[in-house]
Amino acid sequence: MIHEMLRTKMLGGALTDAGNYLRGTYRGYYLVLEPAASGKYLIRVNAHASNDPNNVKLQAFLDSKSANYMVAPRYFELLVNLPQTADDIPDAVNGALDPVIDFLSAGGYVSGCECCGGNTPAPECYNVNGTHRFICANCPDTVKQNYRNSQKGAFFPGICGAFVGALIGGALWILIYRLGYIAGIAGAVSAICAMKGYELLGKRLDMKGIIGSVVIMIATIFLASRISWSWDMYDILREYDYDFKTIFLHFSEILDTFEASGDYIKELLIGYGLTAVCSVGYIIEAVRSGRTQNCQISKES
Burial class (CB in 10 A: 0-12, 13-18, 19+), 266: exposed
Cβ atoms of 78 and 100 closer than 8 Å? yes
275 pLDDT band, cuts 50/70/90, is confident
Average pLDDT over residues 184-207: 82
Q: What integer pLDDT is reported at residue 245 of this predicted model?
A: 93
Q: What is the dihedral of CA 225, 226, 231, 233, to 10 degrees?
A: 120
Q: Which residues, 6 or more positions from 172, have their beta carbon under 8 angstroms from its beta carbon? A: 183, 186, 189, 190
Say if residue 231's pLDDT is above 90.
yes
pLDDT, mean of residues 272-280:
82
Q: Single out the residue of 167, 227, 225 nearest to residue 196, CA to CA.
A: 167
- Please give the Cα distance from 124 to 30 (Å, whole number): 9
Give the pLDDT confidence score for residue 33 in this predicted structure: 96
Tell me what the mean pLDDT of segment 142-165 comes to. 81
Give 17's strand partners.
Answer: 22
Q: Where are the domains of the chain?
A: 4-150, 155-295
Confidence band of 268 (pLDDT split at 50, 70, 90): confident
Query: Considering only CA atoms, which of 273, 153, 270, 293 is closest in space to residue 213?
Result: 153
In this prediction, residue 255 carries a pLDDT of 92
Question: What angle (nearest 5°) sits at the alpha carbon of residue 135, between those of residues 51 and 41?
Answer: 90
pLDDT of residue 290: 59
Q: Which CATH class is domain 4-150?
A: alpha beta
Q: In the predicted model, what is the mean pLDDT of the chain?
A: 88
Write the DSSP string, 255-300. HHHTT-HHHHHHHHHHHHHHHHHHHHHHHHHHHHHHHH-S--EEE-
Q: Is residue 191 over pLDDT 70?
A: yes
Q: How far apart are CA 201 and CA 140, in angstroms?
A: 30
| Residue 35 confidence (pLDDT) above 80 | yes
Is the pLDDT at 251 greater than 60? The verdict is yes
> Assign residue 37 a region: left if phi > 0, alpha if psi is -120 to 50, beta otherwise?
beta
The helix (H) or strand (E) run that includes residue 235 is helix 207-237
